[in-house]
Chain A
Amino acid sequence: MSTLSVKTIVSNCVGKIGPLSIKRDVLGVYGNDNPQTRSLTERLRLIQTAPFVRLALVTIRPAGSTQGQYANLQRDLDVANEVWQRDCGAWIYCVGSAVDNTGVLGNNVVLDQNACPLGVQANPTAEENALFALGRNLGADVVGYFITGSTNPNLGGCSAFPQGRRGFWSGFNQSQNMFAHELTHVIGLNPHPADDPDVPDNDQDNVMWPTPGAITNPPPDLRPVQCSRVQGDASVETC
């Protein structure tokens, strides 16, 4: 059996060409907030064999801010990857992380949000349209946004997106499970357990529990039926 180079695998499977960063382009590490041992061999196996979704990340800051990306970005990404890989055999390929400091959400980075349904937002506000237009040049159909929050200060995330701009937002300083929760709403349109006929209403171990900070027995779980929805999503691809 011939041995393929890292460059060939990455080029063939995820389409990255030119100079490669092992850390970013192969291991998908964009922050130093969650240090851990990461295996290149294991990642190359995943890239070649497991279904994945491309995801871009954008951190929103006030106009002129010099703050960088969200401080817990890597932690959140790692939690989501752990849940997806362990229970679904699928993984998340982060194609890039950008910071927007154009002031799209004022000084406090709070989004003027209309309803928060599962999936397409039928009547997005001007700010929702502006937010979900960001990061579309990073190489993924799905974009995750880190912001302060939205109109209701009690909401920690939302997976509603304007037509044709799949994505979600997760609030700064939310539970480490919030990001995985919102992503799994978008990919597979998984509802909360109480609204899911295939998941017990009281499954508080599940990543789709409506208060992700209160999930019991971490790391959170996904059931086979939820994984089937993830793997059947149009944005999930394989090498």
Chain B
Amino acid sequence: MSSMSPELLREIESVCAIAIEEIVAARRPDDLVALRAALREEADVPRSLRQNAIQILGRWGDTESAAAIRLLLPRFDERERINAVDALGRMGGPDAEAAVLQTTEDESPDVRRFAAYVLSNLGTEAARDRLRDMEETDPEDFVRAAAARSR
């Protein structure tokens, strides 16, 4: 990840990321390459850096990263799956939609809460159908409420 811009380097190491939108707006090709590299399964990067990369790629709307994130999902803990779901929802596309639909059945109700918000953003027919199902059948009150708010 040596080719990233100084601005991205600062942001990707920060725990208070107030400049992500500027990074995304600049859309530097080298930054996109560096961010995608952090998603490779064999990439030797800290978990925190990979999560920041996923967040930024989500804001970037980089549809091509969705498949890589989907592959990484089984390795992630609850908080990381929430970040991944949010990013996938911003990316859109078939891989993102498939991954998000999968997470609507996650064992964590909070991951399902975020999946409900994301389904609304995806806006496809399958997403709308699944959101309706979640509103009616999810075992947790607050997940059903999130689905209802998202429709």
A and B associate in one complex: yes
Q: Which residues of A approach B to under 8 Å, CB–CB?
A: 63, 103, 106-108, 110, 112, 115-118, 125-126, 149, 151-160, 174, 178, 181-182, 185, 191-192, 194-195, 210-213
Number of A-B contacts (CB under 8 A): 102
A126 to B140, CA, bound (A): 19
Q: Give the residues in chain A near B48, CB-CB below 8 Å.
A: 153-154
Q: Give the residues in chain B near A108, CB-CB below 8 Å.
A: 78-79, 108, 110
Does B103 have its Cβ within 8 Å of any Cβ on chain A?
Answer: no
Q: Give the residues in chain B near A112, CB-CB below 8 Å.
A: 86, 113-114, 117
B16, B54, B117, B143: residue with the most chain A Cβ atoms closer than 10 Å: B16
Contact residues of B: prevailing secondary structure? helix
- CB-CB nearest in chain A for B14: A210
Q: 10 smallest A-B Cβ distances: which pairs?
A: A153-B79, A210-B14, A156-B15, A152-B55, A154-B48, A108-B110, A151-B86, A106-B110, A154-B51, A106-B113
Q: Give the residues in chain A near B49, CB-CB below 8 Å.
A: 154
Query: In whole Å, how far is B19's beta carbon from the nearest beta carbon of chain A?
Result: 6
Q: Give me 11 A-to-B residue pairs in the complex whose CB atoms sit less than 8 angstroms apart, sorted by A's number.
A: A106-B109, A107-B109, A151-B83, A156-B15, A158-B16, A178-B16, A185-B16, A195-B19, A210-B10, A210-B13, A211-B15
Contact of B16 among A115, A151, A192 (CB under 8 A): A192
Interface string of B136-151 (1 = CB under 8 A from A): 0000101100100100
Does B17 have its Cβ within 8 Å of any Cβ on chain A?
Answer: yes
Q: Give the residues in chain B near A153, CB-CB below 8 Å.
A: 48, 51, 79-80, 82-83
**Known pairs A153-B80, A154-B15; A115 contacts B51 (CB<8 A):** no
The size of the chain B interface, using a CB distance under 8 A, is 34
Contact check, B82 vs A213: say whether CB atoms are below 8 A apart.
Answer: no
Query: In whole Å, how far is A119's beta carbon from the nearest beta carbon of chain B?
Result: 9
Contact check, A212 vs B16: say whether CB atoms are below 8 A apart.
Answer: yes
Does B21 have its Cβ within 8 Å of any Cβ on chain A?
Answer: yes
Contact check, B15 vs A155: say whether CB atoms are below 8 A apart.
Answer: yes
Q: Give the residues in chain A near B108, CB-CB below 8 Å.
A: 108
